[in-house]
Structure 1
Amino acid sequence: MRSIVREWRMAIEFLTRIPLPQSGQADFDENAFIRSVRWYPYIGLLIGAILAAFSYVFFTWLPPHAASVLLVIAGIVVTGGLHLDGLMDTADGLLSGRDRERKLAIMKDSRVGAMGVIAFVCLFALKWALFSAVGKHNPLLLLMMPAIGRTAMVGAIAGYPPARQEGMGVHLAGRVSSSQLALATSVLILPLLFWQVKGFVIICICWLAFWWMARIIARSLGGLTGDTYGAICEVLETVFLLTAVGVLL
């Protein structure tokens, strides 16, 4: 039980900016960090519950467009913009038109280029519009959105080699066991329970989007990186919302 609590703590500290009391354990445990990956989709449910609560408050007291913008900002605050940073770096590298090594170097650069800014603006605008459509009366969509994105992250970590010999990808890629992957992906049972056949359709479309995106990135870079994990998470969140709004609403 203590090890599971530590894994949850590591996952929350890595994926969010939710303040936690000091644990008194200063040493980094790489094995626990690897095992914590299996809890990423469930940390996504936690993030989704927070967003659903914010949504109820924002849409109760504010006009829909203002509430939607604040909800997007709330998501950035809760996660610290971790995955958006990965999205922007990935866009700068992949869309640069350079060779593999130069793409990886661009992604490693802390500065944001034009493609990164364009990707951020497009995703922000699309989430804003989708949150306006969801409103406060569909909390299950907000609950599942971050979970779907982080399930895609686990799939990317488990299924693709690292593109570099250093960084997050090297520590995690290919080191997620089948049992850990099964536990992580079991969160996908929830859309089936919530929406039955429509939930199955949504999952299938999200899976196709994940497969296409991960394959394109892996072909271009020779594998995946920590930045691309974040990009996949952000894009799959948006694909889920877009599909769910189209299918359910």
Structure 2
Amino acid sequence: MFKFIRHYLLALQFFTRIPVTGRLANWVGYSPDMLRASAAHFPGVGVVVGAVAVAVFALLQLLLPDTPFRPLVAAVFSTIATVLVTGGFHEDGLADVADGLGGSYQRERALEIMKDSRVGAFGAMALVLVLLCKVALLALLGSVELLDADEQPFAFSGWYICAALWAGHVISRGLPLIMIRLLPHVGDTATSKSKPLADQIASSGLLIAFLWCFGALVLASFALSAINLIVACNFAVAALLVMMRFFRRRLQGFTGDCLGATQQVCEIAFYLGLAVSV
């Protein structure tokens, strides 16, 4: 249990801005093997990030006046909150991938561009489009009106979007682990942010990640129907398969930036699946 907690806190320290410092950091410790093992807890990081997103969205839904624009405002601030918590870690990966693969059809040149910390035109366009898609879908889901057994609206009709937000952050962080398992790492392991992920994830790690995702879906099922979750997960898995095929064809593998881009695309696909199922 202590090893489980240490690995989880290390993942939280690596993929968020939540401070794990001082005595707690000393107790957690660090080694490349520990960081590699912490990959199993990426969906667990989504539990925390999703909880922050839900808290901000729900609070604004309760405080803002009941107008058609309320879900949109809540979606914007909820998205801002997740970016602040993660430091834009995954969005940065998305921009680098868009710049690299959009800037050159040559594999080596694309990988070189992806290492550049500057954001180019393709990266900027990708960020804008992805954030627009995310905010628009969250605003749409936040507009869904839930009815009770007497066909009357609930006093707080945001349970649907809250469950969607939370589950989306967890599932979208679990699916990229399949990419780690099935594709080779092609980044520069000497400088890559994903250096500890260069080795394939163990089956035990995938099992832990699956349990995180399964637990999130079970809890989300109290607000979302089974068909909603099935359609949403199918959309997210389809997005993962498309991204894996794309990276295999263009790069012959994945980099840390590819994982971040995949998380963003799978998250949007999850919300889109929910919107379609409604």
Q: TM-score normalised to the size of structure 2?
A: 0.83
Unaligned runs of 5+ in 1: none
1:164 partnered with 2:187: yes
Task: Write the deviation string for residues 131-173 of structure 1: whole angstroms up to 9, x where unpaired.
Answer: 2122233211011011111112211222210112422444313
- Output the CA distance in 1 between the equivalents of 2:99 and 2:228: 35
1:107 partnered with 2:114: yes
Q: CA RMSD in A?
A: 1.9
From 155, 159, 163, give the equivalent of 1:137.
159
Instruction: Give aligned pairs, total.
Output: 248
> What are the equivalent positions in structure 2 for 1:65-80 lying under 5 Å apart?
65-80=72-87
Equivalent residues of 2:8, 2:44 under 8 A apart: no
Equivalent residues of 1:159, 1:174 under 8 A apart: no
- Residue aligned with 1:191, SS: helix
- Output the CA distance in 2 between the equivalents of 1:105 and 1:20: 32
- Output the CA distance in 2 between the equivalents of 1:137 and 1:204: 22
Equivalent residues of 2:92, 2:257 under 8 A apart: yes
Deviates more, 1:129-138 or 1:212-221: 129-138
Deviates more, 1:225-234 or 1:64-73: 64-73
Equivalent residues of 1:92, 1:115 under 8 A apart: yes
Q: Which entry has the higher C-alpha Rg, 1 or 2?
A: 2
What amino acid is the match of 2:12? I
Q: Which has the higher helix share?
A: 1
What amino acid is the match of 2:44? Y
Q: CA deviation at 1:214?
A: 1.4
Equivalent residues of 2:172, 2:236 under 8 A apart: no
Unaligned runs of 5+ in 2: 65-69, 143-157
Q: CA deviation at 1:121?
A: 0.4
- Output the CA distance in 2 between the equivalents of 1:45 and 1:244: 19
Q: CA deviation at 1:125?
A: 0.8
From 37, 40, 49, give the equivalent of 1:47.
49
- Output the CA distance in 1 between the equivalents of 2:73 and 2:218: 32
Equivalent residues of 1:158, 1:176 under 8 A apart: yes
What amino acid is the match of 2:209? A
Structure 2 residue aligned with 1:83: 90
- Residue aligned with 1:18, SS: coil
